[in-house]
Structure 1
Amino acid sequence: MTQHLRAIYEDGVFRPLEPICLKDHQEVTLVLEITESLQGNEAESLPIWEFAAELARDVPVEEWSNLPSDGATELDHYLYGSKKTR
């Protein structure tokens, strides 16, 4: 089984940021993807696609399925509340 979770490493221990269903002393294999937090002007120096990817990393996987599938064609509806065109 594969499960993605975000964690913080402090004092030699990984601390999950969300609840996790594991038994005490259950062995797991960790594959680390290190996310760098953007501070100050660092965000301004990134290309927009890298900045968007950095923001997207913080969105829980299950939330992506809640996005509308017609977001591009109905942009005015979702941004301004206008009637849908289709």
Structure 2
Amino acid sequence: MSVIAKVREQDGARVVTLPSELLESIGAGVATALALDVKDGAIVAVPIAEPARQRSRRYTLAELLVGAEHLPEIYEGIAGALDGDPVGRELG
């Protein structure tokens, strides 16, 4: 399959749009990482498998504050900062 694509500029970057059919022919789709190389004056694109991303873990306020009771010993300017009730939408 031969496709003619024009290089254009977008926000200071040079961009080439690849047709879906061309990407599908190499097993690539939206969000597929491509390894790009130049061989014999041609750009070669090969899809690469990326490790699965783990979903970001949400921490409770108690988990985030583990060890915080020692902060005043390290930095006296923080004394009293951990006293008092929650003032926002903190998780318990």
Query: Normalising by the residue count of structure 1, what TM-score does the alignment of the two structures yield?
Result: 0.19
Structure with the larger strand share = 2
Larger Rg belongs to: 2
Compare the two structures and name the one with the higher helix fraction: 1
Q: Higher RCO, 1 or 2 (CA under 8 Å, sep at least 6)?
A: 2
